[in-house]
């Protein structure tokens, strides 16, 4: 199942934006199904600590497969307010439910920096089709 | 050959428990016209081949004058058959094929070693795993189980002329087939129908690494000698001379040489080629190959370290992208198949 308002970064992270009770924008971040399929055979993921301030485009963590390691980039700017605990023990979740149980972190936005760079699903799919060639 | 057909781990497990099917046609196949070539070839190889009996295969190295490794190869004595006279065959690494052809030309007497590069005219398939032989046998005209490891025989495979060998690069039992290029596809299809799992370059690497088999360009290169590489068994210095033998006789027992070791890590992060190996914070060597071992469910690596730090059990660290990950020296291979019969 896909969350509403799904937006994609060029670097294959997805973002779902939702306001919290106080009206602040909360971004849930994950990795796209396309990227996970290309990685296959995941062995390790490293996520940031709660409370970390990140800027759009900064490294958020890393994901490693038998084949190679890839950085995970933050598509947004703000504070990491929630980290998906236990995900590293259940890496198969990423592949089986990338847009649901495979979420990585939630970030409380401190600015809208980076948001305008994000693509809708159609534009992202076009990018993936081009990368597959 | 693709990196993977489906998943590296799934293909790896299929080879360890069933049968993996590999297209290894990229390997170089150099055919010599007759057995007169064995004597001049002997001068180019670290192991004796003049005495290679019909149907025998020997692992050997090609070294430079200074003992550095130009390639690791398999030398075959292809026995006489209906369509051919007995002759030697060298199977060399794809990336070294042109270099070795040029080396043979440059370092033998003119006209002494005529060879035909059969790499593009033929294809090479490997079937590896505990079920490889039973899966292959129905399509191969010669009985496979009586064939010893490192022997070859002329045969028919699905009616196509083939050279069948009991060889491989996975640590499993199995066989390799050399056939005319056009015969590869029907044989491949038939073996897949029979239950073989197509297996790519990715799992070929995880399989050979678990079996601690060196790979040219990683563990082996022109700056590395066979003793450092732990391949002393592939060097025969007794009563013979070959290119590199004088240098190798000198370095045989040199304690200043680094040593190839196996490393196991406790974490999940994978050491990759080129990463630094440290002992109590001091650099002692370099990773040559690393992966996540599907069989051991942990990262493993091979690399070269100073002799003083090469003992099994030595605690070391590997610099994995700026973080020192604990590791220890372990005995090679990481994986040894259970002996069947």
Closest CA to B131 of B191, B183, B209, B179: B191
Contact A40 B4 (CB under 8 A): yes
To the nearest whole number, what is the mean pLDDT of chain A? 94
Summarize pLDDT for B59-92 with one digit per residue, the tens. 999 999 999 999 999 999 999 987 789 999 999 9
Q: What is the mean pLDDT of residues B8-27?
A: 98
A125: closest CA of chain B, how far (Å): 22
**Minimum Cα–Cα distance from B293: chain A residue:** A66
Q: Is residue B236 part of a domain?
A: no
Contact B270 A43 (CB under 8 A): yes
Residue B136 has pLDDT above 90, yes or no: yes
Residue B196 has pLDDT above 90, yes or no: yes
The CATH number that applies at residue B53 is 3.30.1360.120
pLDDT of the residue at A1: 57
Contact B8 A44 (CB under 8 A): no
pLDDT of the residue at A2: 72
Residues sharing a CB contact under 8 Å with residue A37, sequence separation 6 or more, in sequence order: A95
- Same structural domain, B116 and B177: yes
Q: Rounded to a whole number, what is the distance in angstroms from the first to the last CA of chain B? A: 33
Largest Cα–Cα distance in chain B?
63
Percent of chain B with pLDDT over 90: 96
Q: Is residue B227 part of a domain?
A: no
- Same structural domain, B143 and B205: yes
Residue A44 at interface with chain B, using a CB cutoff of 8 Å:
yes
Q: Is residue B239 part of a domain?
A: no
- Same structural domain, B201 and B266: no
Q: How many CB atoms lie within 10 A of CB B194?
A: 17
- Same structural domain, B194 and B331: no
pTM, entire model: 0.94
B143-to-A125, B21, B153, B155 alpha-carbon distances in Å: 53, 19, 10, 10
Closest CA to B291 of B171, B206, B223: B206
3-state secondary structure of B331: coil
**CB-based contact B272:B302 (threshold 8 Å):** no
Q: What is the mean pLDDT of residues B230-255?
A: 96
Q: Is residue B157 part of a domain?
A: yes
A45: closest CA of chain B, how far (Å): 9
Give the integer Cα–Cα distance in Å for B9 and A106.
31
- Same structural domain, B263 and B185: no
The CATH number that applies at residue B263 is 2.40.30.110
pLDDT of the residue at A43: 96
To the nearest whole number, what is the mean pLDDT of chain B? 96
User: Could you say which of B9, B272, B299 has the minimum Cβ distance to residue A41?
Assistant: B9
DSSP string, B223-291: T--TTTTT-GGG---TT---TTHHHHHHHTT-TTS-EEEEEEESSSPPP-TTPEEEETTEEEEEEEEEE
- Same structural domain, B149 and B18: yes
Q: What is the mean pLDDT of residues B247-256?
A: 93
- Same structural domain, B193 and B275: no
User: Could you say which of B9, B267, B321 has the minimum Cβ distance to residue A66?
Assistant: B9
Summarize pLDDT for A72-92 with one digit per residue, the tens. 999 999 999 999 999 999 999
B118: closest CA of chain A, how far (Å): 32
pLDDT of the residue at B37: 97
Q: What is the mean pLDDT of residues B22-35?
A: 97
Across B106-129, b (16+ Cβ under 10 Å) vs e yields eebeeeebebeebbeebbbbbbbb
pLDDT of the residue at B340: 63
Q: Is residue B243 part of a domain?
A: no
pLDDT of the residue at B1: 82
- Using a CB-CB cut-off of 8 Å, the residues of chain A touching B202 are 66-67
**CB-based contact B72:B219 (threshold 8 Å):** no
- Same structural domain, B167 and B54: yes
3-state secondary structure of B128: strand
- Using a CB-CB cut-off of 8 Å, the residues of chain B touching A41 are 7-9, 292
pLDDT of the residue at A4: 67
Give the integer Cα–Cα distance in Å for B45 and B334.
28
A43: closest CA of chain B, how far (Å): 7
- Relative to beta strand B69-78, strand A42-46 is unpaired
- Using a CB-CB cut-off of 8 Å, the residues of chain A touching B270 are 43-44, 64, 66, 69
| Overall residue count recorded for chain A in this entry | 133
Contact A66 B269 (CB under 8 A): no
- Using a CB-CB cut-off of 8 Å, the residues of chain A touching B269 are 44, 64, 69
pLDDT confidence band for B153 (50 / 70 / 90): very high
Range of the domain at B294: 258-341
Residue A3 has pLDDT above 90, yes or no: no
Q: What is the mean pLDDT of residues B139-160?
A: 97
- Same structural domain, B298 and B204: no
- Same structural domain, B172 and B315: no
Per DSSP, what are the bridge partners of residue B77? B88
Q: Is residue B298 part of a domain?
A: yes
Lowest-confidence segment of B106-110, B206-210, B259-263 by average pLDDT = B106-110
pLDDT confidence band for A105 (50 / 70 / 90): very high
- Same structural domain, B199 and B82: yes
Contact B270 A41 (CB under 8 A): no
Q: Distance of alpha carbon A48 from its chain centroid, rounded?
A: 12
Residues sharing a CB contact under 8 Å with residue A41, sequence separation 6 or more, in sequence order: A65, A66, A67, B7, B8, B9, B292
Report H helices in A18-69: 33-39
Residue B239 C-beta-side C-alpha neighbours within 13 Å: 2
Q: Which residues of B touch A (CB under 8 A)?
A: 3-4, 7-9, 202, 206, 267-270, 272, 291-292, 294, 299, 321
**Sign of the four-CA dihedral B249, B253, B255, B259:** positive
B254: closest CA of chain A, how far (Å): 36
Percent of chain A with pLDDT over 90: 91
Q: Copy the structure tokens of residue B76.
A: 């075959």
- Same structural domain, B203 and B285: no
Give the integer Cα–Cα distance in Å for B156 and B79.
14
**Minimum Cα–Cα distance from B206: chain A residue:** A66
Q: Is residue B238 part of a domain?
A: no
Summarize pLDDT for B265-310 with one digit per residue, the tens. 999 999 999 999 999 999 999 999 999 999 999 999 999 999 999 9
- Using a CB-CB cut-off of 8 Å, the residues of chain B touching A67 are 3-4, 8, 202
Looking at the structure, give the CATH architecture of the domain made up of residues A6-132.
Beta Barrel (2.40)
Number of domains in chain B: 2
Q: What secondary structure letter does DSSP report for B150? A: T
A49: closest CA of chain B, how far (Å): 17
pLDDT of the residue at B81: 83
Contact B270 A64 (CB under 8 A): yes
Residue B341 has pLDDT above 80, yes or no: no
């Amino acid at each position: 199942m896909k969350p509403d308002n799904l937006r994609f970064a060029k670097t294959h992270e997805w973002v779902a934006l939702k306001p919290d009770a106080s009206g602040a924008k909360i971004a849930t971040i994950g990795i796209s199904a396309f990227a996970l399929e290309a990685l296959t055979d995941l062995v390790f993921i490293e996520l940031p600590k709660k409370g970390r301030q990140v800027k759009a485009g900064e490294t958020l963590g890393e994901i490693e497969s038998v084949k190679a390691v890839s950085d995970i980039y933050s598509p947004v700017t703000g504070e990491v307010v929630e980290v998906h605990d236990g995900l590293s023990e259940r890496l198969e979740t990423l592949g089986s439910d990338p847009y649901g149980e495979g979420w990585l972190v939630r970030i409380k936005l401190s600015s809208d920096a980076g948001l305008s760079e994000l693509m809708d699903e159609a534009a992202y799919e076009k990018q993936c089709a081009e990368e597959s060639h | 050959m693709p990196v993977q057909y489906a998943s590296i781990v799934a293909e790896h497990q299929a080879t360890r428990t069933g049968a993996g099917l590999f297209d290894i046609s990229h390997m170089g196949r150099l055919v010599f016209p007759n057995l007169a070539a064995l004597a001049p070839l002997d001068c180019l190889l670290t192991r004796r081949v003049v005495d290679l009996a019909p149907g025998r295969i020997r692992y050997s190295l090609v070294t430079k004058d200074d003992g550095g490794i130009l390639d690791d190869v398999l030398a075959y004595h292809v026995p006489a058959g209906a369509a051919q006279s007995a002759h030697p065959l060298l199977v060399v690494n794809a990336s070294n094929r042109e270099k070795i052809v040029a080396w043979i030309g440059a370092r033998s007497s003119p006209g002494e070693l005529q060879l035909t590069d059969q790499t593009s005219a033929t294809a090479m398939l490997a079937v590896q795993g505990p079920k490889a032989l039973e899966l292959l046998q129905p399509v191969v005209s010669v009985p496979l189980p009586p064939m010893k490891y490192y022997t070859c025989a002329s045969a028919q495979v699905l009616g196509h002329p083939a050279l069948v060998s009991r060889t491989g690069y996975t640590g499993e039992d199995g066989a390799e087939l050399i056939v005319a290029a056009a015969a590869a596809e029907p044989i491949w299809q038939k073996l897949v129908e029979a239950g073989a799992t197509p297996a790519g370059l990715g799992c070929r690497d995880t399989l050979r690494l678990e079996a601690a088999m060196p790979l040219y360009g990683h563990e082996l290169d022109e700056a590395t000698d066979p003793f450092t590489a732990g391949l002393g068994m592939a060097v025969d210095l007794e009563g013979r001379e070959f290119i590199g033998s004088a240098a190798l006789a000198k370095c045989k027992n040199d304690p200043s040489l680094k040593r190839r070791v196996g490393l196991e890590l406790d974490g999940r992060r994978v050491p990759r080629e080129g990463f630094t190996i440290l002992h109590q914070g001091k650099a002692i060597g370099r990773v040559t190959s690393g992966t996540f071992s599907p069989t051991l469910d942990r990262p493993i690596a091979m690399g070269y370290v100073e002799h003083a730090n090469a003992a099994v059990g030595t605690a070391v660290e590997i610099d994995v992208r700026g973080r020192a990950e604990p590791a220890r020296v372990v005995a090679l291979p990481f994986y040894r198949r259970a002996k069947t019969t």
